[in-house]
Amino acid sequence: MTVIIKVDPLNPEPWGVRFGARIIAGGGLVAFPTETVYGLGANALDGSAARRVFNAKGRPVDNPLIVHVSSFDGLRSVAEPPPWLLEPLRKFWPGPLTVVLPRKKVVPDEVTAGLDTVAVRMPAHPVALRLIDESRVPIAAPSANTSTKPSPTRAEHVVEDLWGKVDLVLDGGETFFGVESTILKVEDSRVTVIRPGPYTPEELSKLFPKLEVSIYARGVAADRPIAPGMKYKHYAPTKPLFMAADQSVLVQLSRELSMRGVNHVVLCSRETSAYIGAPTIVLGSRGDLYEVAKNLFHALRVFDRRTEPLGLVEPFNESGVGLAVMNRLRKACGGTVVKDADQVLREGGISGSTHPLSGSKARHQEIRA
C-alpha cells in the first residue's frame, strides 16, 4: 500500500517527516523531494531495505545507489573523504553535488553494488534533510522512477511509476533544478565530473582547479562506463525521439514531416516554437537553460502520453547547465542526431507520403501539462 502525504517543502510538518522516518527505520521505502529530483529512500545501512529499492525500480543490481547524509559526520560515517576535500565541499553542500569516495565497511554491498567506493551527497532540501535527521541513519536513494523512465520532478511522476511499490510518498511539490546532481569522482587528488548536473564544470573548477570532465559527460554512448549507470538505457520515451542537428534543421525537418503527413511533436525552446507549425512542448527559454532543465523530465513524460508516433527535439548550447541538459536529451534520443526527414522516417520505422499536398492536419498548438 502507498500513502501520500503533502508537506510544505520549505517548512515540512514534523509529523509527516516523523512518519517517514519510522518507515525508513523499519526497513521500508519513502519517496521524498530533493532540490534535484524525487528520491526513493531506504536505510543505507540495511542491505535488505536496499534490495527493496532495486526491486521497486526494476533496477539492475550492479548499478549502485547514492547515500544521502545531513551532516559531515554523516559523510565520515559512510566514506573516507581525503582531508583536503572538506573545505571545498563545504562550499557546495548542502547542494546538488555527489562525491564518489572510498567506502566504509558499514555500507552494505547491495548499496555500492560491491564496489569499494560509495557515492555520497547532502541534499539542499528541508524535507530531505529532516527526513535523514529523524531517521538517524543515512538514506540510500536513487531517483524515484521506474528504471529507464525519466526521473521524477513531481510527486505525481512517482505515483505514476511506483504506486503500490513504495510505502510513503512525501509530496513537496515540483523540484527546483529538475536534473539530477552533478557527480564527482574523487581519486587521490584527481577530481572528475562523471555526470553533469546543476553545479556546472565552470563553477566547480573555481574550487577544484584541476577539475577534469569525463568524455562521457556529454551523454554520448559509453563503451567503458565509469559510473555503472551509464551503460543502461535512460530517460527513454516509449516512441522515437530525434535530436535535430541544429535549430534550422529542426524547423526544416518539422515542415517536411508535416508536408508528408507525418504527425509529430516538437520539444523546443519558446523562441524556436514560434517557427514551428506542428504541436510543440515548450521546454523554456534558450536564454535560461535552468528553466529548460527544470521542465525537461516532465516534458518527456508529456511527450510519451501524446498520440503522435514520434518527436523531434531542439539541441541546446552545452555550456553551463546546458551540458547536463544535453546529456539527458542525448540519452532520451538514444544518441540519434538527424539531418533529414528520410532519416527520421527510416529510423522511426514510419512511412510518410511523398506527395507535397498531402499535408498533416496537425496545426500549431502549444501543449501544456
Q: Which residues are annotated as a binding site for L-threonine?
A: 36, 68, 121, 141, 181
Q: Taking CB within 5 to 8 Å according to partner kind, which of ligand TXA, Mg ion, none is near residue 37?
A: ligand TXA
Cβ atoms of 162 and 1 closer than 8 Å: no
The reply to whether 146 sits near Mg ion by the rule CB under 5 A is no
Please report how close the Cβ of residue 234 comes to Mg ion at its closest, in angstroms: 7
The reply to whether 147 sits near Mg ion by the rule CB under 5 A is no
Please report how close the Cβ of residue 182 comes to ligand TXA at its closest, in angstroms: 8
- In the bound complex, which residue of the shown chain has the CB atom lying closest to ligand TXA? 229
- Please report the DSSP string for 319-365 in residue order: STTHHHHHHHHHHHTTT-EE-SHHHHHHHHT------TT--------
Please report how close the Cβ of residue 291 comes to ligand TXA at its closest, in angstroms: 18
Q: Which is nearer to ligand TXA, 227 or 313 (CB)?
A: 227
Crossing angle of the two packed helices 155-162 and 289-305, in degrees rounded to 10: 40
**List 70, 143, 181, 295, residue binding Mg ion (CB under 5 A):** 143
Residue linked to cell 535560461 = 288
Q: Which is nearer to ligand TXA, 214 or 280 (CB)?
A: 214
- Please report the DSSP string for 67-105 in residue order: EE-SSHHHHHHHB---HHHHHHHHHH-SSSEEEEEEBPT
3-state SS class at 192: strand
Q: Taking CB within 5 to 8 Å according to partner kind, which of ligand TXA, Mg ion, none is near residue 183?
A: ligand TXA
Please report how close the Cβ of residue 122 comes to Mg ion at its closest, in angstroms: 18
Binding site for ligand TXA (CB under 6 A): 34, 36-37, 39, 63-66, 96, 98, 100, 112, 115, 117-119, 121, 123, 141-143, 180-181, 183, 227-229
Q: Closest Cα to residue 37, out of 134, 164, 152, 122? A: 152
Q: Which is nearer to ligand TXA, 63 or 205 (CB)?
A: 63
b vs e for 349-360, b when ≥16 Cβ sit within 10 Å of the residue's Cβ?
Answer: ebebeeeeeeeb
